[in-house]
Chains A and B, each alone.
Chain A
Amino acid sequence: MKEIMEYWPFLLPVIVIQVILAVIALVDLLRHKTYRFGNQFFWIIVVLFVQLIGPILYFTIGKRDS
């Protein structure tokens, strides 16, 4: 495990990006109450627990156009 830890400066930006995307998606989906399909609870789960792909799915097929 120690060896993996030495790569954390490289992993950090990746994690930061994932967190940023998840937060942006979360804020957006909390502000909009309706989606193209699924309910709010469903999308919160997807965005928070499916790394990277979750927010992408929300913005591409979940979010309703304004």
Chain B
Amino acid sequence: MEILRLDHIEKHFGDVRAIQDLTLTVTAHSVFGFIGKNGAGKTTTMKMIMGFLPPSSGEIYVCGEKVNYGDTKTNRHIGYLPDVPEFYGYMFPEQYLELCGEIAGQKPTQIKKKVTQLLKLVGLKGVRRKIEGFSRGMKQRLGIAQALLNQPKLLICDEPTSALDPIGRKEILEILSKVSEQTTILFSTHILSDVERICDRIGILDQGKLIVQGNLAEIRSTYRQDTILIELADQNCPASFAAKLRSLPFVSEVVMKENTITIHLTDITKKAGKILELLAREQIPVIKYEVLEPSLENVFLEMIK
């Protein structure tokens, strides 16, 4: 089922084309990672989905309903965590969540139950402190609690981990992966290891253009730059060996550094054995032979080159 669809979205700020022809679909029960550098247009896109900014052209559908700028009707399907969530500092977390529940039109008894449950989920249960005294991480967690209050079909998080320390990041990611069992999540980030941890689908945004979208595993294998790492027992590897490697038709690049050789291949599936054969034939002693997994970071850097 389709939860979110962006149809040929354009957004111009004066002469700047902040978003260019963005078409994107998020299906139910997926965790969609929206990746891009700062200023790539992630927040702008999310604000348009929320009806906070008007697209210059194109249409957005949430659960099949069209998003109208200035309207907040489609927001009842969505839970939204802004990049820097701002709360009413004079309230206690329960009071704030109760306000949100009432606004979302829930029944008082239902709100009470849900608030207790959510505060437990995000680890803010029993915090007797006004929100003004909260740390960044606590605010982020309260932000997630508020976003989940109306049992949204789609949870949108704008850079939920960017400003947090490693422990705070880990906590937020754990909460998100727990939540993903019931809800579709769209979350933006520039921290790629976060994406690798919880996303199953990704879209890479660069300078307002969506340059790739799809299944994370598929993208990895499509854009994989196959790499073999060899660690030699001997410090000085014969130069003739490197030359032989370079002469192979499926080898694109050879990098030698002390006793390690990094070999980039055009096709790993059939040709990896040939390298082993060559090593055996030349009788070069090897400590380690490893086929490197392509990291998303490499894919990303390759893509936005």
Complex Cα distance, B89 from A66, in Å, reads: 5
- Taken together as a complex, chains A and B put the C-alpha atoms of A66 and B90 apart, in Å, by 7
Residues of the B chain whose Cβ atoms lie less than 8 Å from the Cβ of A66: 89-90, 130, 132
Q: How far is the CB of B134 from chain A (nearest CB, A)?
A: 11
- B130's closest neighbor in chain A, by CB? A66
Chain A neighbourhood of B89, CB < 8 A: 65-66
Bound CA–CA A65/B130 (angstroms): 13
Number of A residues, CB within 8 Å of B: 2
Chain A residues whose C-beta falls within 8 Å of the C-beta of B132 in the assembled complex? 66
Q: Across the interface, which residues of A come within 8 angstroms of B130, CB to CB?
A: 66
Complexed CA–CA distance, A66 and B86 (Å): 10
| Nearest CB in chain B to that of A32: its residue | B132
Q: How many A-B residue pairs have CB under 8 A?
A: 5
CB distance from B76 to the nearest CB of A (A): 28
A65 CA to B89 CA in the complex, in Å?
A: 8
- CB nearest to B133 among chain A residues: A66
Query: How far is B132's CA from A15's CA once the two chains are assembled, in angstroms?
Result: 33
Contacts of B90 in A (CB 8 A): 66
1/0 per residue, CB under 8 A from A, across B90-109: the answer is 10000000000000000000
A66–B134 Cα gap in the complex (Å)?
A: 11
A65 to B87 CA separation, bound complex (whole angstroms): 11
Cα-based distance from A10 to B90 in the complex (angstroms): 36
- Residues from 100 to 123 in B contacting A, C-beta threshold 8 Å: none
Name the CB-closest residue of A to B86: A65
A10-66 with Cβ < 8 A to chain B: 65-66
Closest residue of A by beta carbon distance from B131: A66
**How far is A66 from B130 in the complex, measured between Cα atoms in Å?**
10
Q: How far is the CA of A13 from the CA of B246 in the complex (A)?
A: 95
Q: Which residue of B lies closest to A65 (CB)?
A: B89
Name which residue of chain A comes closest to B132, CB basis.
Answer: A66
Query: Which residues of chain B (121-172) have a CB below 8 Å from chain A?
Result: 130, 132
Question: Which residue on chain A has the smallest CB distance to residue B90?
Answer: A66
Once the chains are docked, how many angstroms separate the CA of A66 from the CA of B132?
6
A24 → B minimal CB distance (Å): 15
Give min CB distance, B216 to chain A, whole Å.
Answer: 41
Within 8 A of A (CB), among B197-218: none
CB distance from B40 to the nearest CB of A (A): 31
Q: How far is the CA of A65 from the CA of B132 in the complex (A)?
A: 9
With a CB–CB cut-off of 8 A, which chain B residues contact A65? 89
Chain B positions 53-103 with a Cβ under 8 Å from a chain A Cβ: 89-90
Cβ distance B92 to chain A, nearest Cβ, rounded Å? 13
Bound state CA distance, A56 and B129, in angstroms?
Answer: 27
Nearest Cβ in chain B — how far from A59, in angstroms? 13
Please measure, in the bound complex, the distance between the C-alpha atom of A57 and the C-alpha atom of B258, giving whole angstroms. Answer: 71
| B interface, CB within 8 angstroms of A | 89-90, 130, 132
A-B pairs with beta carbons under 8 Å apart, 5 shown: A65-B89, A66-B89, A66-B90, A66-B130, A66-B132
Top 3 closest pairs, chain A to chain B, by CB: A66-B89, A66-B132, A66-B90
